[in-house]
């Protein structure tokens, strides 16, 4: 039909969804045909009913959300992992649910190899592979130690950690320091460039940041309010996961006076630290992640709650945890992100989804707050309308709106917060995550960035477990 033919007669309209649209058209005399369509849900009806009718659920979810909303985040120290979390020799932390060397993906293997070389446990790559394959290195998830790590998330005893405290609930959370972009350990690279940077971060960056943070607090200043920085970022075009420009600059502004005042350190080292932070647009990410971890840990262990407290991936599996089932993991095969690639890289070069950084979406920002950062689509793909629609859709699978994390373009509406397993199952809409992409082959580094969703099977398992817990309560 030609465009002229289409407009030659009154339109016949088919509508699905809420009645407001249909009613408005009918009021204008339009011919409207309503279709009772909705996204396909999943789950056993008996399990859905058990969870929906659990008399504890509404109150439990209300408590969980209140704990998330009230949690704070203060930067109180910078210390090596061996000190702050008691990380033992020949032990490495990694992102996502538990894994073994045999099940580790390329970038995870690359990061584990790089950490063994960095710590001096291996003399070369082959030696590192040998001790890892022999089980001489203990592997454990970051989340088991109140810790989060982006991408591979590998943390070794000599790495310096941000130490954050929740002044409301008293919790603590930790994260290593961000290396920047490109060929970095967290993306699975482990060459001389990576090793040189890690050594500088151990010998210069970490000690300077420790002296700066401690010096500021000792001088009577309040600890850096990281949650406040995170809230301001959303007003300035960041979404807190793949776009951290404003947050990194604000952090540099807050820390610079204390860094400059550090005594007993060569001026060249001070200049190098300031230049490194100023040139690293993702520097804040490793502060934002433990901020989200603090809030979500405050909501752990609430019987009857169907809210997520963890979404995380290790490059092989995706895992989730809920407030009502404690530390139990529900896992499935990690999906591969779809997005934009660097240089000549393409889809065949990308590894499946990896990293603890989905804690940002679990908290209600990152991919959930893409409307706050429409420029993010130039990094992860899609369009500006896609970014707005994604945030709108995530309101349908969450329990509340976080007023502290307001989104300007949506009339300062709070970000969608508190992912509800029941709502995900009923709607069939899975959480949206935006993420970096690591190369499938160990040693490659970053190959792009894109969008990804958890495997549905994680939520199917969580639904079953929550329903069982309901029946036995």
- In tens, the pLDDT along 244-272 reads 999 999 999 999 999 999 999 999 999 99
Determine which helix (DSSP H) or strand (DSSP E) holds 361, and give its type and residue range. helix 359-363
Q: Does one domain contain both 149 and 235?
A: yes
For residue 439, list its beta bridge partners. Answer: 350
The pLDDT value given to residue 9:
62
**Which residues have C-beta within 8 Å of that of residue 254, sequence separation ≥ 6?**
224, 229
Predicted confidence (pLDDT) per residue in 115-145, tens digit: 999 999 999 999 999 999 999 999 999 999 9
**What is the rounded CA–CA span in Å between residue 318 and residue 333?**
6
Task: Tell me the average pLDDT across 40-48.
Answer: 93
* Domain end (from 289, 310, 342): 289
Domain membership of residue 40 (yes or no) is no
Q: Does one domain contain both 277 and 308?
A: no
Q: Of 190 and 383, which is predicted with more confidence?
A: 190
Q: Which two tokens stand for residue 129?
A: 């592979």
CB 138 within 8 A of CB 155: no
The pLDDT value given to residue 7:
53
Q: Does one domain contain both 18 and 104?
A: no
Q: Which two tokens stand for residue 144?
A: 């088991």
Look at residue 155 and tell me whether its pLDDT is greater than 90.
yes
CB 447 within 8 A of CB 439: yes
**What is the rounded CA–CA span in Å between residue 331 and residue 399?**
23
- Give me the CATH number covering residue 342: 3.90.1700.10
Q: Does one domain contain both 230 and 374?
A: no
Domain membership of residue 294 (yes or no) is no
**What is the rounded CA–CA span in Å between residue 57 and residue 73?**
27
The pair phi, psi for residue 317, each rounded to 5°, is: -120, 150
Nearest Cα neighbor of 77 from 203, 219, 223, 202 is 223
H-type alpha helices, 261-310: 267-278, 285-297
Domain membership of residue 381 (yes or no) is yes
The pLDDT value given to residue 33:
79
Look at residue 5 and tell me whether its pLDDT is greater than 70.
no
Provide the pLDDT confidence category of residue 1 given band limits of 50, 70 and 90.
Answer: very low
Number of domains within the chain: 3
Q: Which two tokens stand for residue 145?
A: 């130690």
Domain membership of residue 295 (yes or no) is no
Domain membership of residue 200 (yes or no) is yes
DSSP sequence for 24-42: HHHHTT-EEEEE-------
The pLDDT value given to residue 4:
55
Look at residue 19 and tell me whether its pLDDT is greater than 70.
no
The pLDDT value given to residue 29:
73
Q: Which two tokens stand for residue 418?
A: 């508190």
Q: Does one domain contain both 318 and 271?
A: no
Q: Does one domain contain both 248 and 343?
A: no
Q: Does one domain contain both 305 and 182?
A: no
Predicted confidence (pLDDT) per residue in 66-80, tens digit: 999 999 999 999 999
**What is the rounded CA–CA span in Å between residue 189 and residue 412?**
40
* Full domain range(s) for residue 360: 45-60+300-472
Helix (H/G/I), strand (E/B), else coil: 273: helix
Query: CA distances (Å), 351 to each of 335, 367, 381, in order?
Result: 9, 19, 17
The pLDDT value given to residue 226:
98
Domain membership of residue 5 (yes or no) is no
The pLDDT value given to residue 18:
55
Query: CA distances (Å), 277 to each of 248, 270, 281, 388, 446, in order?
Result: 8, 11, 8, 30, 20
Helix (H/G/I), strand (E/B), else coil: 397: helix
Q: Does one domain contain both 269 and 332?
A: no
Q: Does one domain contain both 283 and 305?
A: no
pTM of the full structure: 0.91
Q: Does one domain contain both 243 and 338?
A: no
Domain membership of residue 1 (yes or no) is no
Q: Does one domain contain both 313 and 212?
A: no
Neighbours of 171 (CB within 10 A): 22
Domain membership of residue 451 (yes or no) is yes
The pLDDT value given to residue 379:
80
Quote the percentage of the chain above a pLDDT of 70. Answer: 95
The pLDDT value given to residue 204:
98
């Amino acid at each position: 039909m030609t465009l002229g033919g289409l407009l030659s007669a009154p339109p016949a309209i088919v509508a699905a969804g809420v009645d407001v649209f249909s009613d408005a058209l009918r009021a204008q005399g339009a011919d409207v045909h309503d279709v009772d369509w909705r996204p396909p849900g999943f789950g056993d009806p008996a399990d859905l009913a058990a969870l929906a009718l659990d008399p504890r659920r509404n109150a439990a979810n209300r408590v969980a959300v209140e704990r998330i909303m009230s949690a704070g985040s203060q930067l109180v120290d910078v210390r090596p992992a061996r000190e702050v979390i008691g990380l033992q020799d020949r032990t490495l932390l990694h992102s996502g649910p538990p894994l073994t060397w045999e099940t580790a993906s390329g970038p995870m293997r690359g990061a584990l190899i790089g950490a063994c070389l960095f710590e001096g446990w291996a003399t070369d790559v082959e030696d590192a592979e040998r001790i890892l394959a022999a089980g001489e290195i203990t592997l454990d998830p970051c989340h088991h130690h109140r810790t989060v790590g982006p991408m591979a998330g590998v943390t070794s005893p000599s790495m310096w950690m941000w130490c954050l405290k929740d002044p409301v609930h008293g919790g603590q959370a930790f994260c290593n320091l961000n290396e920047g972009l490109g060929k970095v350990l967290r993306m699975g690279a482990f060459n001389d460039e990576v090793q040189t940077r890690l050594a500088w971060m151990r010998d210069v960056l970490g000690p300077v940041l420790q002296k700066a943070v401690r010096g500021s607090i000792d001088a009577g200043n309040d600890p850096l309010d990281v949650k406040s920085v995170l809230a301001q970022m959303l007003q300035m075009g960041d979404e807190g996961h793949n776009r951290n420009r404003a947050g990194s600059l604000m952090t540099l502004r807050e820390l610079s006076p204390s860094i400059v005042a550090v005594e007993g350190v060569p001026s060249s080292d001070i200049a190098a630290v300031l230049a490194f932070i100023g040139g690293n647009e993702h520097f804040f990410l490793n502060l934002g992640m433990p901020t989200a971890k603090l809030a979500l840990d405050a909501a752990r262990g609430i019987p009857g709650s169907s809210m997520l407290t963890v979404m995380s991936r290790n490059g092989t599996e995706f895992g989730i945890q809920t407030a009502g089932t404690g530390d139990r993991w529900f896992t499935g095969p990690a999906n591969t992100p779809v997005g934009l690639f660097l240089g000549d890289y393409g889809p065949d070069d990308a590894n499946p989804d990896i990293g603890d950084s989905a804690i940002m979406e679990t908290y209600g920002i990152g991919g959930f707050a893409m409307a706050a950062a429409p420029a993010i689509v130039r990094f992860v793909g899609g369009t500006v309308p896609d970014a707005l629609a994604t945030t709108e859709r995530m309101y349908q699978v969450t329990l509340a709106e976080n007023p502290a994390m307001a989104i300007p373009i949506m009339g300062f509406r709070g970000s969608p917060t508190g992912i509800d397993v029941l709502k995900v199952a009923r709607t069939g809409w899975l959480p949206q995550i935006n993420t970096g992409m690591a190369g499938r082959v160990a040693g490659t580094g970053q190959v792009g960035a894109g969008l990804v969703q958890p495997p549905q099977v994680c939520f199917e398992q969580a639904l079953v477990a929550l329903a069982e817990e309901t029946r036995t309560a």
